[in-house]
Amino acid sequence: MKAKVFLFFMLFLFVKVNAQNSISGLVTDVKAGGSLPGVNIVVADLSVGAVSNAQGHYTIGNLPNGQFFVTYSYVGYENITKEVHLTGNTHITLNIGLNPQVIEGQEVVVTGSFTGTQHENTVQINSVNAQSLNQVGSPSLMASLAQIPNVDVISKGPGVVTPVIRGMSLSNILVLNNGIPMENFQFSEEHPYMVDASGVNRIEVIKGPASLMYGSGAVGGVINLIGEPVADRGTIEGSANLRYYSNTMGTNSDIGIKGNENGFVWGARAGLNSQADFIQGNGKFAPNTRFNTQSAKLNAGFIKKIGTFRLFYNYDRDKLGMAVPPALALVTERGRKNKVWYQNLTNNLLISKNKIFLGDFKLDADFSYQNNNRRLEGSPDSPPFELVNMTLQTFTYRMKGVYNFSDKFKAFLGIQGLSQNNRNHQAPQHVIPNASQNDFSIFSMGRYHWNKNIVTEAGVRFDHRKIFIPAYTSNGSPVPDMTRTYDNVSASLGTNVPLAENLLLRLNVASAFRSPNIAELTQDGVHGARYEKGNSNLKNQQNTEADLGLHFHTLHTTFEVSAFYNHINNYIYLSPTDNYTNGYRIYQYMQTPSELYGGEVGFHIHPHPLDWLHLSANYSYILGKVISGGYLPLIPANKIHFEVMLTQNKWHQFRDSFFKIETNYAFAQNHPSEFENTSKAYTLFNLVMGTQFKMGSQLVSLNVIANNLFNVTYVDHLSTLQEVGLYNAGRNITVSLHIPFGIAQGKQ
């Protein structure tokens, strides 16, 4: 045992790697009998898999030693996940019977501390797949996440959207792109993450502290965008997505292709999103809320016996209109081309993701380089046209070694680091000065399976951050060099306790932290429609959160209830003051002890024998308070979501058809912060219809979504457009088409 511990903490294990493992079997329909062709079989952690052939048979070969989860999924049937242990030159036969889908069972998630099923994680991880994203009808990927209880968005129109998890937002949330933290000046609601839905297979959301796994910034939670799986072995395949939005006269389209030749995998995808100024519920257009984005994604790599080695490159170019007072005076006609007062953003992201499997030891090694250029273009009639031009360059690394000490105990040890530089170019406004930042951390966690399937996780993490800001001039006054260092220790302890066969209790207590960022320390100037001042004396923001959850799951019913309490020392937030300069209100970064508490409750019922009917609802409650008195800013209103869905598996040439009615009710927000206004309650109705039909040999998906069906005029509490007198969007009809295609088909 001591030898194992020594090898684990050195992150080296020397073994003979000669595994020739394989998994094969037959997939059948339990209810109707007979084989099931076209079932997707995926091995988590490897991103490899197969599709059952016309006789329902499948084979996945050339697998390394280790512990893996194999997921079987087929449209209209429940997912099944099996855990396998491969020990060398072994062949495992897994014959699987799938039941027609009633309520989706637990799935494998990768954003938690260990890859595993939902029931193994001590924190709940919500997962939204691509099919669900296509049923929302929003031109913004982040806005699509608002379907998750206690997940909201701060919006400045459909193009400028930032997520909120349990009342925490901006620098308190970490957004991951294939596991890599995004770095794009996320300190302001004016700065949305440069991500889009093209090539995204699903999104996993952790609600609550995740600093132990991901470091500073994961105080409120984590959103992980997970890309599409690789092509089946020996195939070349692709897909196209086309969407039209009536409210913005917008189109959002992408096309991609991918292949897999003997373990060499590759893929490419490109997308365009163009939206005109949206129409409010009162029938008037919202000036300068137009936006246009372009994206391109490439990947290549090898999936071999010893592990996976993949490179990803993402390019994003966004032009986002800003509905600020100077623009409202200039934009008098509706349009889609960005001409005045818009953000001109470019982001390049290069990722190297590697997994090495050496028996009971697995090493994850991820590296990334990001180059984010942010420009603000004003008005050509009031030079200078380019007001802001700065580039943020970030290099990150993260290495984590996981060792299975026994069937009951596994643990990991990891290191993580960041090197970042911000540089201003030839533009008059320096939103933040030239600066550099370096981070280093070491973290570890263990998971133990007790008798009766009780799971306990515990971990600890140490972080060090150093920020250096060279001398600069602000508003004509010299500012000397500034060096700040921040150290922190965070910890987590959680457990899952099966109270009965279908009843699971989750309890988790975690500390988390966030160091002040460069903007919070230094800002001193106009940003958007206000004047923002930093605070060089800010300390680490430290929080402790306790989560309690109960999960009940049967074949026809699921029920979830959870509650949380989040105590935050030195909570950092931007608050308006009573002072003005040059007509702009001054906002100041402040710190104060605060607390957030609330919870979520939801159910999904599929009453038997009414196989065509689904009923679901959820309620989310959140309250954010300053300990000394008053309320925190940017806290969403409490909300209720209810839906009725009718389904039909097969009807003539159509399959998996559905019709859904949704009701969203937002309560009045009567607990605003000192300088916020209260917000009225509102009710929205949505209709969603969808089906699949064959076009040649391919199965095409068609969705039609009607949002805000009755064209309600309303203002969401987190819409910053209310500051300039604009309402949220009115009725919108979205038509979405997903077209897969195959070019080459290999043998099983």
Q: Which two tokens stand for residue 672?
A: 């605003």
Whether 555 and 689 share a structural domain: yes
d(CA 664, CA 152): 13
In a domain, 692, yes or no: yes
Q: pLDDT tier at 715 (50, 70, 90 boundaries)?
A: very high
Which of 226-235, 345-354, 473-482 is most confident?
345-354
Whether 84 and 229 share a structural domain: no
Q: pLDDT tier at 392 (50, 70, 90 boundaries)?
A: very high
Whether 225 and 84 share a structural domain: no
In a domain, 110, yes or no: no
Query: For residue 745, what pLDDT is reported?
Result: 62
Q: How many domains does the chain have?
A: 2
Query: For residue 13, what pLDDT is reported?
Result: 38
Give helix then strand counts, H and E, for the chain.
5, 44
Q: Give the pLDDT mean for 354-365.
A: 88
Which CATH number does the domain housing residue 2 bear?
A: 2.60.40.1120
Evaluate if residue 102 carries a pLDDT over 60. no
pLDDT in tens, 515-529: 888 888 888 777 666
DSSP collapsed to 3 states, 11-51: CCCCCCCCCCEEEEEEEEECCCCCECCCCEEEECCCCEEEE
Choose the final residue of a domain: 62, 79, 101. 101
Query: For residue 2, what pLDDT is reported?
Result: 44
Which CA distances in Å does 35 have to 38, 586, 692? 10, 68, 21
Query: For residue 553, what pLDDT is reported?
Result: 85
Q: Give the pLDDT mean for 466-477.
A: 86
Q: Give the pLDDT mean for 394-419.
A: 92
Q: pLDDT tier at 101 (50, 70, 90 boundaries)?
A: low
Whether 97 and 225 share a structural domain: no
In a domain, 121, yes or no: no
Which residues fall within 8 angstroms of residue 4, CB to CB, at 6 or more apart? 403, 405
Evaluate if residue 4 carries a pLDDT over 80. no
In a domain, 128, yes or no: no
The verdict on whether omega for the bond into residue 516 sits within 30 degrees of 0, i.e. cis, is no
- Name the residue with higher pLDDT: 116 or 133: 133
In a domain, 146, yes or no: no
Boundaries of domain holding 71: 1-101
In a domain, 553, yes or no: yes
Evaluate if residue 252 carries a pLDDT over 90. yes
Query: For residue 339, what pLDDT is reported?
Result: 93
Whether 279 and 408 share a structural domain: yes
Q: Which residue has the tokens 């389209």?
A: 253
Q: pLDDT tier at 253 (50, 70, 90 boundaries)?
A: very high
d(CA 549, CA 148): 16
In a domain, 166, yes or no: no
Choose the final residue of a domain: 101, 127, 148. 101
In a domain, 207, yes or no: no
Evaluate if residue 467 carries a pLDDT over 80. yes
What is the sign, positive or negative, of the torsion defined by CA atoms of 52, 58, 63, 67? positive
Query: For residue 8, what pLDDT is reported?
Result: 42
Q: pLDDT tier at 312 (50, 70, 90 boundaries)?
A: very high
Choose the final residue of a domain: 71, 86, 101. 101
b/e string for 405-426 if b means 16 or more Cβ within 10 A?
eeeeebbbbbebbbebebebee
On average, the pLDDT of the chain sits at 86
Helix (H, G, I), strand (E, B) or coil at 601: strand
Helix (H, G, I), strand (E, B) or coil at 481: coil
Q: pLDDT tier at 631 (50, 70, 90 boundaries)?
A: very high
Q: pLDDT tier at 652 (50, 70, 90 boundaries)?
A: confident
Q: What is the pTM of this model?
A: 0.87
Evaluate if residue 9 carries a pLDDT over 50. no
The H or E element containing residue 329 is helix 325-330
Query: For residue 142, what pLDDT is reported?
Result: 83
Which CATH number does the domain housing residue 694 bear?
A: 2.40.170.20
Query: For residue 371, what pLDDT is reported?
Result: 96
